[in-house]
Amino acid sequence: MQEIHHYDIVVIGSGPAGEKAALQASKLKKQVALIDKSPHLGGASLHTGTIPSKSLRETVMHLALLRQQTHGIDIRFKENLTTRELMYRKEIVIQDQENSLRRNFEKNQITVIEGIPRFQSATMLEITPADSSEKYEITADYTIIATGSSPRRPKWAPFDNECVFDSDTILDIKHLPKKVTIIGAGVIGCEYASIFSKIGIRVNLIARDRNILPFVDRQIAENLMYQMRNQRVTLRLGENVEDIEKINADEIHVKLESQKILPCSTVLVAAGRFANSGGLNLDKVGVELGNNGLIKTNENFQTAQPNIFAVGDVIGFPGLASTSMSQARIAVLHAFGQLESEKMPKDLPLGIWTIPAVSMVGKTEEELTDACIPYEIGIAHFKEISRAHIMGEEEGILKLLFDPETLKILGIHIIGPHASELIHLGHSVMFYEGTIQYFMNTVFNSPTLDEAYRIAAFNGMNRLDHESL
């Protein structure tokens, strides 16, 4: 009989949440095992999600910059771009990141197990090895489930990975299409609409709602829609898909309930995701599931079974790599009684890698209004910033929402170049309960995009002064 190995904690999944959970536990000097069904570490985030799509975006941005001849230099480059050339950088990044991940696990003495786990009890897992060898069991004091999510594949969509794709398989597209129809205007749909349109591909973006990105501040979302339209993205808002018909190898018709027919060569269905919670035998250990297989947890990411935690996409919104890693850290610290000594952020920054990028932290105007919380606004337009002029990136907004009495920051919303980098300065001030006066008194390097904070702060204070007259 095979010996049963015991660990202080077992982590299921090697994506950003699983990686952070395993490394955090190892820093606490715990015996850690990480289980993944795939021989390739990093999960969907590294292989089909965050990293490859952002690598592709970066490649597209560089090509677009060359095409714009921004600095008055006539640069000529190959027009007939192939998908192999476009995806080249993505493959390099993925391989480098996976190698780094594996080295990091080895350095921190984390046992990596390739196989499929199933709960036999709250403290015992049965492992089916990937090489089909004999099953075996391991035990652990705590388990962190970080199995991620998969694209929803509606039955009405004839997925063939040649003309009709989901958000995972689109990265394996063999030929750049002439026209793409994207069904779903959430984060993934909007990101790919931006990427395709930036390299000159015509895009139809279909949204069931009248707005895109419903959790984003409306002014920011409307600005994004304006800029997407300028990039020749056709927004089909308040529309539902009735049927998808493949006419021939080069043409697909997407029929809407409004009876519009949208011809195109490629369809991307970005109709949400569902949790990878099946097959774990969770019902046997009392772990509760919600809609779309999402695992229910408390504020410390603890399930109904006290020694089992769940983090990342498998528990739902926001399902971003950054937030998932923070959740994992909280879960591990809570499991081993270390959370009390840590001050965890109440609000976490969110980033959307559209072109231009969107990033935010805290409350939106709509949320503050619904909660009857008084607020004032300070706005900076990127066209007011010398650094943006130098970069040739003058379209953008930084928006501060703050308490008119205390001047404490309630929310920060940015659309524009480097939004995902800019957000962190504001988030730090917000986390330490600073006020907009910090931005007014700080000496910024010049020229930098960070100067937008000072402009926005003065704009907000001017509004207060005018109201007091």
| pLDDT tens digits along 332-349 | 999 998 876 555 567 888
Neighbouring-strand partners of residue 203: 180, 233
| pLDDT tens digits along 31-44 | 999 999 887 777 76
Q: Which tokens is 178 given?
A: 């002439």
β-pairing, 261-264 with 251-256?
antiparallel
Q: Which tokens is 180 given?
A: 């793409």
138 HSE (CA, 13 A, CB side): 27
Neighbouring-strand partners of residue 360: 350, 413
- Give residues with Cβ within 8 angstroms of 21, minimum separation 6: 9, 11, 144, 146, 311, 328, 329, 331, 332
CB atoms within 10 A of CB 261: 11
Give dist(CA 186, CA 316) in Å, integer. Answer: 14
Give dist(CA 342, CA 326) in Å, integer. Answer: 12
| Cα angle 21, 27, 29; round to 5 | 110
The pTM for the full model equals 0.84
Q: Are 205 and 269 in contact (CB under 8 A)?
A: no
- Give residues with Cβ within 8 angstroms of 8, minimum separation 6: 25, 30, 31, 32, 140, 141, 142
Which CATH number is 356-468 given?
3.30.390.30
Average pLDDT of every residue of the chain = 87
Q: Please report, for the chain, the start and end positions of each structural domain, with discontinuous segments joined by +.
A: 5-150+274-341, 164-271, 356-468
Q: Which amino acid is at 223?
A: N
Residue 62 reports pLDDT greater than 50 = yes
Rg of the Cα trace of the chain? 24
- For range 267-290, the mean pLDDT: 91
| pLDDT tens digits along 102-115 | 898 899 999 999 99
Equal fold, 5-150+274-341 vs 356-468:
no
Q: Tell me the H-state helices in 80-198.
A: 83-107, 187-198
Helix (H) or strand (E) holding 43: helix 43-47
Closest among 50, 75, 49 to 63, alpha carbons compared: 75
- Give residues with Cβ within 8 angstroms of 158, minimum separation 6: 164, 244, 246
Backbone angles phi, psi at 323, to 5 degrees: -70, -35
CATH superfamily membership of 5-150+274-341: FAD/NAD(P)-binding domain (3.50.50.60)
Confidence class for position 1, pLDDT limits 50, 70, 90: very low
Give dist(CA 21, CA 145) in Å, integer. Answer: 10
Q: Which tokens is 155 given?
A: 């039955």
CATH superfamily membership of 164-271: FAD/NAD(P)-binding domain (3.50.50.60)
Give dist(CA 49, CA 122) in Å, integer. Answer: 31
| pLDDT tens digits along 361-392 | 999 999 999 999 999 999 999 998 888 888 77
Confidence class for position 59, pLDDT limits 50, 70, 90: low
- Give residues with Cβ within 8 angstroms of 200, minimum separation 6: none
Measured distance between the N- and C-terminal CA atoms of the chain, rounded to whole angstroms = 84
- Give residues with Cβ within 8 angstroms of 387, minimum separation 6: 446, 447, 448, 449, 451
- For range 93-97, the mean pLDDT: 78
**Which of 10-24, 33-47, 204-218 shows the lowest per-residue confidence on average (mean pLDDT)?**
33-47
- Give residues with Cβ within 8 angstroms of 140, minimum separation 6: 6, 7, 8, 9, 10, 33, 123, 125
Give the total residue count for the chain: 469
Backbone angles phi, psi at 179, to 5 degrees: -145, 135
% of the chain with per-residue pLDDT over 70? 87
Q: Are 119 and 284 in contact (CB under 8 A)?
A: yes
CB atoms within 10 A of CB 93: 18
Residue 309 reports pLDDT greater than 90 = yes
| pLDDT tens digits along 178-197 | 899 999 999 999 999 998 89
- Give residues with Cβ within 8 angstroms of 437, minimum separation 6: 407, 457
pLDDT at site 144: 96
| Residue 131: alpha-carbon gap to chain centroid | 32
